[in-house]
């Protein structure tokens, strides 16, 4: 089969299309013909080697974290899926590889595709949808009437998280550029801040939750818009010791993350707020709940551009420019 691989860890390194062996199907796996995949900044960070300590993939390896496609075969112990099912998924860490024509995925990472979406729309959802769900529903437990600040509202996670927060009944503030203000308002943002000319810290206060995705300077400002007892959830770091424990990482990485996050955790304690680092995980049952919301019309995917499979490297480069609104998708089949 055709696939795009990382031949060696290298910042801004090129992806290479190669012929790879067909995936092996274990007892609880489903073999999926990939119709579409999507690009995430996580892909570029893994290619650059930024996550080697957490995810030590051995080059050459196939990149890619999102897929929508058709089940071609199932392992002997698979109960939830059958040949011909239209599905979508974010394969678990250490089993990624959706920049390819086919992939074998553990059945617990897979869900039926939302019936009202085409392949490219469905492929745009898994990673960002699970990130938003695990931040706002699972970890943040957002309730009706709360105030939620979502940084970078026009990005992949932001466009999904705004809609999910509104569905949960929150008042939502976000940052974006003036040219994307109409987009985020159409998704449900109540307060839109132009980050180029406005300071969100001067405009926001008393927030229950912040979904942080930017740099450390922005994180320190975001802590100050929370009310006492508020909660900041970061998807861009720094990782904390609680994350190391939950991820089953060793003593050395736990010590490293303790040191990296010390200043942030101290600042959070001083303000009487909670800090958590989130590194999303694969979860097919959560994807099934997300699919139900999509089918009910509560959430709609935002797709910026669709590239052909042969231009997967160009699609990754486009995402790295930071100009994409929502997700960038690759049509594989």
Mean pLDDT by 10 residues, the chain (333 residues): 97 96 98 98 96 92 98 98 98 97 98 98 98 98 98 98 98 98 98 97 98 96 98 96 88 92 97 97 98 98 98 97 96 95
- The dihedral built from the CA positions of residue 240, 242, 243 and 248, taken in this order, carries a sign that is positive
Q: Please report the pLDDT score of residue 138 as a whole number.
A: 98
Is the overall model pTM greater than 0.95, yes or no? yes
Phi-psi region of 137 (alpha: psi -120 to 50; beta: other; left: phi over 0): alpha
Q: What is the pLDDT of residue 248?
A: 87
The reported pLDDT for the residue numbered 246 is 86
**How far is residue 100's CA from residue 164's CA, in Å, rounded to a whole number?**
30
- Options 3.30.450.70, 3.90.180.10, 3.40.50.11780, 3.40.50.2300; CATH of 2-125+301-331: 3.90.180.10
Instruction: Look up tokens 């437990």; give the residue.
Output: 141
Domain coordinates in residue numbering, the chain: 2-125+301-331, 127-277
Kindly give the residue spans of alpha helices, DSSP state H, lying in the chain.
41-48, 119-123, 126-133, 156-167, 181-186, 200-203, 216-223, 241-246, 251-271, 284-295, 312-320
The Cα 79–Cα 71 span in angstroms is 13
For residue 153, give the DSSP letter. Answer: T
Whole-angstrom distance, CA of residue 283 vs CA of residue 108: 7
Residue with tokens 């939620």: 148
Rg (CA), the chain: 19
* Domain 127-277 = CATH 3.40.1710.10: no
């Amino acid at each position: 089969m055709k696939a795009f691989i990382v031949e060696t860890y290298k910042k801004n390194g090129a992806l290479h299309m190669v012929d790879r062996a067909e995936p092996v199907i274990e007892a609880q796996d489903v073999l999926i013909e990939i119709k579409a995949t999507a690009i995430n900044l996580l892909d570029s960070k893994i290619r650059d080697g930024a996550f080697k300590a957490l995810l030590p993939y051995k080059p050459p390896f196939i990149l890619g974290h999102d897929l929508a496609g058709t089940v071609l075969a199932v392992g002997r112990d698979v109960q939830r899926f059958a040949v011909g099912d239209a599905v979508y998924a974010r394969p678990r860490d250490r089993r990624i590889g959706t920049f390819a024509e086919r992939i074998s995925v553990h059945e617990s990472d897979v869900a039926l595709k939302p019936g009202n979406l085409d392949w490219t729309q469905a492929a745009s959802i898994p990673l960002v949808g699970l990130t938003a769900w695990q931040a706002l529903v699972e970890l943040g437990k957002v309730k009706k009437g709360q105030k939620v600040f979502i940084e970078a509202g026009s990005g992949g996670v932001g466009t999904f998280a705004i809609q999910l927060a509104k569905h949960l009944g929150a008042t939502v503030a976000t940052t974006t550029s003036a040219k994307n203000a109409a987009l985020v308002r159409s998704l449900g943002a109540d307060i839109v801040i132009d980050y180029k000319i406005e300071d969100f810290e001067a405009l926001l206060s008393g927030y229950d939750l912040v979904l942080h995705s930017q740099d450390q300077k922005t994180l320190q400002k975001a802590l100050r818009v929370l009310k006492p007892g508020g909660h900041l959830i970061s998807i861009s770091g720094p990782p904390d010791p609680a994350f190391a424990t939950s991820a089953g990482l060793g003593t050395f990485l736990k010590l490293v993350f303790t040191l990296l996050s010390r200043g942030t955790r101290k600042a959070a304690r001083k303000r009487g707020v909670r800090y958590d680092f989130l590194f999303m995980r694969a979860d097919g049952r959560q994807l099934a709940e997300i699919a139900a919301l999509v089918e009910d019309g509560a959430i709609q995917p935002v797709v910026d551009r669709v590239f052909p499979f042969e231009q997967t490297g160009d699609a990754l480069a486009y995402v790295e420019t930071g100009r994409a609104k929502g997700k960038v998708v690759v049509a594989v089949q």
